[in-house]
């Protein structure tokens, strides 16, 4: 089996990255994690990836004159490593339209709400303020509009009385760690594809 060479982009803790690495540790998983890139030097996830024997690269965004220039450097690192699929996992930079279009259909993100509800940041605060009884997480194809891409899969959790953003985040995170590997598997196996702006399943 040829495994899809996959990169993970992180900015921090990297717990979703760890879940993807753990899933891909199984030789029968259709994707291999071939690179972890972070825009933040010292991001917690980097040392874990390195210890797991995965090549890592730090590309700090600050020295670049523009978003496009930073994205160009990331794209070069991905191409150099022969990457076919890119997973955003707590990557806290907005990507330029050019980068997103280039990787369209191969670029995934995980978001800690049931999209299209509660886009952007402070997601669990938004959910609690809205008083929803069910929240969850979404893996979607990335398109230029933030948190708006075609949905590949979702998982739900109940909002419990007394939940704080922290307790809700922790409950959602447990589901994120199962959902992201499952969604990556679907893409790597060709069971989902982005066609004419829609996720098409077979
Ligand atoms: C996760 O909640 C993810 O859904 C969101 O950012 C958080 C990243 O956490 N996009 P981690 O770095 O994967 O632990």
| CA 12–ligand 1 middle distance (angstroms) | 8
Cα–Cα distance list, 98 to 67, 72, 75, 94, 108 (Å): 10, 9, 10, 12, 16
Distance 158 CA to ligand 1 centre (A): 19
Q: Is the CB of 199 inside a 6 Å radius of any atom of ligand 1?
A: no
Q: Does residue 177 have its Cβ closer than 6 Å to ligand 1?
A: no
Global pTM reads 0.97
pLDDT, one tens digit per residue, over 130-163 is: 999 999 999 999 999 999 999 999 999 999 999 9
Q: Using the predicted structure, report yes or no on whether residue 1 has a pLDDT greater than 90.
A: no
CB neighbour class for 92 (10 Å; exposed up to 12, middle 13-18, buried from 19): middle
- Taking only the tens place, the pLDDT of each residue in 53-74 is 999 999 999 999 999 999 999 9
What integer is the mean pLDDT of 88-99?
Answer: 96
Q: Average pLDDT in the 175-200 region?
A: 98
For the chain, list the domains and their CATH numbers: 4-201 (3.40.50.170)
User: How far is the centre of ligand 1, averaged over its atoms, from the C-alpha of 2 (Å)?
Assistant: 28
**Separation of CA 113 from chain center:** 13
What is the model's pLDDT at position 64? 96
Q: Closest residue (by CA) to atom 8 of ligand 1?
A: 90
């Amino acid at each position: 089996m040829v495994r899809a060479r996959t990169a993970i982009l992180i900015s921090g803790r990297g717990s979703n990255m760890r879940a993807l690495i753990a899933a891909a540790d199984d030789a029968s998983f259709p994707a291999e994690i071939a690179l972890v890139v972070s825009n933040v030097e010292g991001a917690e996830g980097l040392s874990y990836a390195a210890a797991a024997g995965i090549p890592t690269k730090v590309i700090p965004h600050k020295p670049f004159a523009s978003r496009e220039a930073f994205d160009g450097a990331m794209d070069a690192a991905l191409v150099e490593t022969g990457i076919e699929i890119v997973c955003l996992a707590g990557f806290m930079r907005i990507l330029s339209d050019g980068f997103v279009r280039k990787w369209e259909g191969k670029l995934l993100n995980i978001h800690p709400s049931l999209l299209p509800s509660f886009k952007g940041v402070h997601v669990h605060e938004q959910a609690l303020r809205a008083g929803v009884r069910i929240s969850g997480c979404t893996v979607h194809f990335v398109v230029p509009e933030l948190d708006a891409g075609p949905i590949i899969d979702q998982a739900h959790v109940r909002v419990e009385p007394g939940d704080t953003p922290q307790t809700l985040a922790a409950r959602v995170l447990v589901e994120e760690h199962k959902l992201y590997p499952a969604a990556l598997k679907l893409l790597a196996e060709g069971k989902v594809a982005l066609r004419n702006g829609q996720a098409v399943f077979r």
